Amino acid sequence: MTLSARGLVCDYGPTRALDRVDLDASGGSILAVFGPNGAGKTTLLRALSGERRPDAGEVTLNGAAVSGSDPAWRARVGLVSHRTGLYRKLTVGENLAFFGALHGINRDRQMAVQALDEVGAADLADIPVEKLSRGQRQRAALARSLLHDPDVLFLDEPFTGLDPGGASTLEAMLQVRREAATVVVLVTHDLERGLKLADRALVLRRGRRVLDTECSGREAEDLLPFFTAGGNRVE
Amino acid sequence: MMSLRWARLIAWKDLQVEFRSGGRLLAMIAFVVLACFLFALALDRSLVPARNVAASLAWLTILFAATTGAGRTFDTEEEDGAFRHLLLTPVSRHAIFLGKSAANLVLVWIVTILAFVALTSFLGVRDAGSIVRHGAVLLPGTIGLAAVGTFFGLMSRHSSLGDTLLPVLTFPLLVPVIFFGATASGRVLTERPWAEISGSVRLLWAFAIGFVAVGSVLFRYLAEE
């Protein structure tokens, strides 16, 4: 399975947030997207997931165009973002049951507990989200995003607020998704962690792809010149 | 059928969240009680018979309370970015609109009942007419209010003007609902025959169905951009 983008352009009024970006992300591997603030990382993720319709270019999965307006595509997508996307007044179990039901998954408490158990948070099922710590919320959000076993997983700064235990759980989950041949696209500021986890790295600067390379053998210092003026390379 | 199931899930979730937090509903209830009290104080009943104006005052109170509530429809969706995740599920956009409108409708019904009870009590209107006939008038009227409020509630969230934009957008559209609703409710209060009321009720249903249909179709364009 391969998620591809060709010539993606996204404009916000007169500002070009993405400028003819190409990429390929294969199932069973992790693509990390890096870049300075305002580089267009989150916009790229939104365009890939279908949350935002690109002004030009297209996104394909195995060569077939995909779009956010297609429910079948949305059913195959999972998202973990730095904002948890959970309802604070509901318990974690109720949140998972709600989102599970929208995905057509049997909405019982046992299902929620099982999903939470996979991220080491089975004990959170009956606790309202507003009573959880930031790290616990992020674990619950991770469980919610994996409920429907997505084929394509987008992660937008997922390590924000996670304690070391939570970060380890997330890393372990990413390994599981890699083994399950899921397409994983990870947006992060954390160069070291991103390079350690990912198979391929893409650096954006001012909406343009300035580096697309294998992660193997790369150090964070190798990528830093691409955050400022200078390098521009696709390997 | 799937859309109705999704709409039911979303409405139930919204109501669960609302009744646990209570902020929006409490604000609407407080507004209704205070507005009715002030109307009762401001009205010189020796000059204007209360029964003749109670319906109009009730509809205005319901309109303002519903608008207050509509402005907060998407608060819980925005607070931790849940709306982004909701939009990434396979749920159709019109199901989201219908679900959120249904939840709004329940809240509007609560304040509608309260407004009628409060106004008839404060204004001393005895024998307020048939409850069934009041229900027949209020049902289509409140469906229209809830649908318009939900649609423009999201639009105002996207605007830098926020909630201040909401009345400007909704009030012109709701003029026919208020006009025919107040006319019909006034006639129920004064116990006029149903033949004098049914025409207004039919028009209220036409507006309600129109608002729900147009909102369902257009909501996706608001939600996705």
**Is A6 in CB contact (< 8 Å) with chain B?**
no
Q: Distance (Å) from the C-alpha of residue B148 to the closest C-alpha of chain A?
A: 23
Report pLDDT for B187.
92
* Most B-contacting residue of A92, A98, A130, A157 (CB-CB within 10 A), to test interface: A98
Per residue in B154-179, is it b (16+ CB within 10 Å) or e — as a string? bbbbeeeeeeebbbebbeeebeebbe
Instruction: Name the residue in chain A with its Cα closest to that of B90.
Output: A71
Compare all CA atoms of chain A with the CA of B86 and give the residue at the minimum distance.
A99
Lowest average pLDDT, out of A59-73, A214-228, B53-67, B188-202, goes to A214-228
Please report the pLDDT score of residue A229 as a whole number: 63
**A9 phi and psi angles, rounded to 5 deg:** -130, 130
- Is the Cβ pair B84, A81 closer than 8 Å? yes
- Angle in degrees, 0-180, between the axes of helices B198-224 and B165-189, rounded to the nearest 10: 160
CA separation (Å) from A129 to A112, A119, B80, B143, B220?
Answer: 14, 16, 11, 32, 28
Closest CA to A1 of A153, A196, A118: A153
Alpha helices for A71-225 (secondary structure H): 71-74, 92-102, 109-117, 134-146, 164-179, 191-197, 220-223
pLDDT score recorded for residue A116: 87
Q: Are B100 and B10 in contact (CB under 8 A)?
A: yes
CA–CA separation, A164 and B82 (whole Å) = 25
Tens digits of per-residue pLDDT, A148-194?
Answer: 889 999 999 888 877 888 788 888 888 988 898 999 999 988 888 88
Ranges under pLDDT 50 in chain B: none
Structure tokens given for B128: 């307020």
Which amino acid is it at B180? F
Q: What is the pLDDT of residues B93-105, one digit of tens each?
A: 999 999 999 999 9
- The CA distance from B9 to the nearest CA of chain A, in Å, is 7
B-chain CB neighbours of A106 within 8 Å are none
| Euclidean distance between CA atoms B197 and A160, whole angstroms | 60
The token duo for B169 is 């957008």
* Sheet of A15-26, strand order: A15-26, A2-12, A56-61, A64-65
- Residue B103 confidence (pLDDT): 95
pLDDT band at A107 (very low <50, low <70, confident <90, very high): low
CA gap A190, B22 in Å, rounded: 40
More confident position, A219 or A83:
A83
pLDDT at A68: 87
Asked whether the predicted pLDDT for residue A4 surpasses 80, the reply is yes
What was the pLDDT predicted at A230? Answer: 53
pTM of the shown model:
0.89
- At CA A138, angle to CA A137 and CA A143, rounded to 5? 95
Per-residue DSSP letter, B162: G
- Report percent pLDDT > 90 for chain A: 51
pLDDT digits (tens, 9 = 90+) for A121-139: 888 989 999 999 888 898 8
| pLDDT (average), residues A68-89 | 92
**What string of H, E and C letters represents the secondary structure of A67-102?**
CCCCHHHHCCEEEEECCCCCCCCCEHHHHHHHHHHH
Task: Name chain A contacts of B84, Cβ cutoff 8 Å.
Answer: 51, 79, 81, 83, 85
Tens of pLDDT, residue by residue over B21-30, are: 878 889 889 9
Question: ipTM strictly over 0.90?
Answer: no
Q: A49: distance to nearest CA of chain B, Å?
A: 8
Angle between helices B2-21 and B23-42 (to 10 degrees): 70
- Tell me how close the Cα of B195 comes to any Cα of chain A, in angstroms: 45
pLDDT of residue B224: 74
Q: What CA–CA distance (Å, rounded) separates B224 from A51? A: 7
Asked if residues A78 and A72 have their Cβ atoms less than 8 Å apart, the reply is no
Q: Whole-angstrom Cα distance, residue A225 to residue A89?
A: 45
Touching check for B4 and chain A: CB below 8 Å?
no
Q: What's the CA angle centered on B60, arms B57 and B61, to 5 degrees?
A: 85
At A233 the pLDDT is 56
SS3 for A12-57, per residue? ECCEEEEEEEEEEEECCCEEEEECCCCCCHHHHHHHHHCCCCCCEE
Inter-chain touch B17–A87, beta carbons under 8 Å:
yes
Q: Do A81 and B21 touch (CB under 8 A)?
A: no
Give the pLDDT score at A165. 80
Contact B21/A at CB under 8 A: yes
Q: Do B84 and A51 touch (CB under 8 A)?
A: yes
Locate tokens 């003007």: which residue?
B161
**Other Cβ atoms within 10 Å of A224 Cβ, number:** 14
Flag if B13 and A98 touch (Cβ within 8 Å).
yes
Q: Is B128 helix (H, G, I), strand (E, B) or coil?
A: coil
Question: Looking at chain B, which residue has its C-alpha nearest residue A81?
Answer: B81
Q: What pLDDT, on the 0 to 100 scale, is given for residue A44?
A: 95
Residue A74, min C-alpha distance to chain B (Å): 5
Give Cα separations from B132 to A42, A105, B66, B117, B139 (angstroms). 54, 41, 22, 15, 10
Most confident of A78-87, A138-147, B93-102: B93-102
Convert A71-92 to b/e letters by CB count within 10 Å (16 or more is b). Answer: eebbbbbbbbbbbbbbbbbbbb
Task: For chain A, give the mean pLDDT.
Answer: 88
Contact B85 A79 (CB under 8 A): yes
